Chains A and B, each alone.
Chain A
């Protein structure tokens, strides 16, 4: 089980946090502080695993961002690396070669995508195509709702003008 997912920039800024286990707000900021220190200071050639408080944090750096997932000792670290990669590939397809700025300005979309990949700290979907399709369907629901809202407000504007 994945206990939390963190996206941390090379400067230590938090770009996304998702908690699947119980952590109070205080604990969350402590975890962030501890882990960003541990992970950002590691050299490039070292292994992608950090042992931390009886758990294992698997991280991988993509460009300026560190993707970190915390799992139990007995979980398969290599698989977690694949899950991270899976997530990155889906983000990449969605944003069209994703960069840190995409994730800053569209952080909510990154969360929506993550919610299609993980629930309760477990993997939900192994097909990138399916995830993309589901996200697209929900985005279009959003657009139609906006259009409707526009037409309604237009109608109200028109009505009040008369």
Chain B
């Protein structure tokens, strides 16, 4: 005995590991074993290679690294004997995956073993090849495998058939070589060969239309005949699965027939009889029988129309659905999804049962059933179905609520017959599961409410009631807060009562209570608080009696930690305190939100950028009466007929509109980009406490090249106007302008004035330094424009705005822009506006980045760029170098 070999047997090692009480003990045992195995490996010990490999596999299963054993597998495979090869191949399949280069080394051994005289060794090699072969190996060894499809022993033929499946999946080009040998396998009697042969034909049809045509023309009849024989064969214990002879063979035949019959009337016709026979004669008591029936139903649904068979199939599904076995019900639901396309009416008949399945205790069944119900909803049944689902929402599991809520919202939005019903249902959902409702859903609800003037009173009262009982549902609170802010007086005065309503008595202070609670509740997030704050300001004007109380609430937030809230409370406080005369105008009701724009935006159908004309109008002199940007015009509801329709769509329109987009960065950039909006006073109003623009997205890009980025410039406009839309109405009249400027006076002139000055001086700086935009890169279909700006006071830094346009007719997805700069330049890339680039120049992607040239004035900027994207799923890579930057950067 070799004294250096590891002493323990496999069994002893497993025992030792199992005896370990802690993970640390186990690690110690494994470490010791690994050390001895390593020693044996480095000594090239052959006697115990077998045992060591087995040990390694066990250790591998426990999750420890075993890469040092990989070469041992190859050595073991290369040795002559069957036992060594057997364990070697097992190790190969277990310890390696097809990505490892080591695998290439085994190709030669595999080739030899595929030609071995011992058929069991051939079998080992086929099995390993079938389980782990890579595309390269597939190419190298395909001829051997093809030859083995005709081997004398059927057990090798079946292995070769499955191995061929792996090969054609890895290299579809090789499919044609396998078509005729595969067809030959279909004539065999051996079940193993038939099963694998039929499977091979099925996979060939999937990768090659040539194969599909071939089998369809030459084999359909033969297959039907063989299946008939199998179905009618007498009981045979060898293939028995709980009373059914070889269900696996049945299923594979049915699956191949399905592919052959799909889209081919003749082939479908040919198999009608046998399908009917399988559907009627298969015993449905055991799982094996049901597996066949399930496959048969799927085939009937997929092949060309035969109404008689389909009735049969739907009946089987009906039986499945009422089965008490959960597995059978699950597959029934699964299949009914497919059946909808074929016969929706028949599926509708099972609606009640399916609805019951939505309430099942089994999550897998619930999920299937919910998806099915979603497909079954139409205008005629939407009301009862929604009612059922909402009723269930009350009692469903927490983890199911999210899915269920999303589906209900989507059903209600899609099929709602009238607005009141829509609002009712949404309020129910919000009260029940408001925390699961996605933002765009409650945004849409607000748009709908705003567009239903006759329901304003009804809605606000319903919301008031709901919020009393379900105040913990965040999105319900938000909608309620918004509506109370807008329609508070309807709440108090019971305006616009519908017949079905019971009148309620709400005092003005009750309404303020709701807002105060929302404002103070510790679980409220910043969005809710901000919405409450705005609503409070609105109520302060509508309910003069509560004005003082509102003021007190607002004042409490002057010292808030969230900048946005702090800033707004200061502003609002000053409005209440000092500007009573303009307040009513400031807090007028929001104009009706445009449904079409909003829904279009949700669908993403509008081009993401605004036309240049909008952008250029930003250059109008400051402080003019007519706000220049089209969206602003629209929002402010000015009566300028020639105002273009708002075409901005990116960014969250509604959030902007509501002024609740309070993530710190956008809000800062919003205020600092305000100057070009054409309303100086607004800028002043909003620039309180804003850090100097240098730190944020400087306002300069808009000044120097107005056409470039209309997205970012419009978004702040929207935001701006949201807070102060009535305010700017005021601005448009010359008389109103001065009081607003005065707004700042009482606050902190020391703080705001330098800001203003800084900005003014920035403007003059920037106006002096305008760099021309360049076409930085242009290929066949892709154009990249750079426009430049300099942040004030920092000549080394340049802000570059890249605009990408796609001139081809295909959408570019997964669009990524990368840039590299020389060592003396620093580069900072901001995220791109989108990662998909619409076709035909129909919009663009913009990306901003900042370069700092440490050798400014000595060396010019240079840049290498790389653009990667996908066209029709194909990766495309474009690269280039940019040297022609304007001088002075």
Chain A residues packing against B (C-beta within 8 Å): 14-20, 22-25, 29, 43, 45-51, 76-79, 81-83, 85-86, 104-105, 107-108, 111-112, 115, 119-120, 122-130, 134, 137-138, 141-142, 145-146
Contacts and interface: CB of A to CB of B under 8 A. Distances in A.
B57 A46 contact: no
- Say whether chain B's binding surface is mostly helix, strand, loop, or mixed: helix
A135 B604 CA distance: 60
Interface string B82-95: 11001100100110
Contact of A119 (B97, B127, B288, B330): B127
A121 B334 CA distance: 23
B82 A142 contact: yes
B251 A76 contact: yes
Interface in B361-419: 361-365, 367
Contacts of B298: 76
Interface string B40-80: 00000000000000100110011100000000000000000
Given A20-B131, A141-B120, A126 B166 contact: no
Contacts of A82: 241, 247-248, 287-288, 291
Contacts of A86: 241, 248
B192 A127 contact: yes
Contacts of A141: 82-83, 120
A142 B162 contact: no
9 contacts: A14-B63, A23-B97, A46-B326, A78-B327, A81-B327, A126-B192, A127-B192, A138-B86, A142-B86
Query: Which range contains the number of B residues in contact with the other chain?
Result: 35 or more
Contact of B295 (A22, A79, A119): A79
B159 A107 contact: no
Given A25-B97, A76-B291, A86-B241, A122 B87 contact: no
Contacts, number: 164
B365 A47 contact: yes
B241 A85 contact: yes
B191 interface: yes
A122 B18 CA distance: 33
Nearest to A77: B331
A77 B327 contact: yes
A17 B93 CA distance: 11
A129 B239 CA distance: 9
Contacts of B329: 47
B113 to A, nearest CB: 14
Contact of A145 (B11, B81, B365): B81
A51, A78, A124 pick with most chain B CB within 10 angstroms: A78
B247 A79 contact: yes
* 7 tightest Cβ-Cβ pairs between the two chains A and B: A78-B291, A47-B326, A119-B162, A119-B130, A120-B166, A120-B130, A46-B362
A126 B83 contact: no
B98 interface: yes
B364 A46 contact: yes
Contacts of A45: 326, 361-362
Contacts of B287: 78, 81-82
Nearest to A13: B62
A19, A49, A85, A111 pick with most chain B CB within 10 angstroms: A49
A35 to B, nearest CB: 14
A46 B361 contact: yes
B807 interface: no
A46 B162 CA distance: 33
B131 A120 contact: yes
Nearest to A79: B291
Nearest to A74: B298
A84 B86 CA distance: 24
A125 B86 contact: no
B246 A126 contact: yes
Given A47-B327, A47-B364, 15 more contacts: A20-B131, A22-B98, A29-B63, A46-B363, A48-B326, A49-B330, A76-B295, A78-B287, A81-B287, A81-B327, A83-B248, A115-B90, A120-B130, A125-B155, A142-B86
B152 interface: no
Given A48-B327, A142-B86, A78 B120 contact: no
A45 B326 CA distance: 8
Contacts of A81: 287, 291, 327
A120 B165 contact: yes
Interface string B6-22: 00000100100010000
Contacts of A107: 57-58, 61
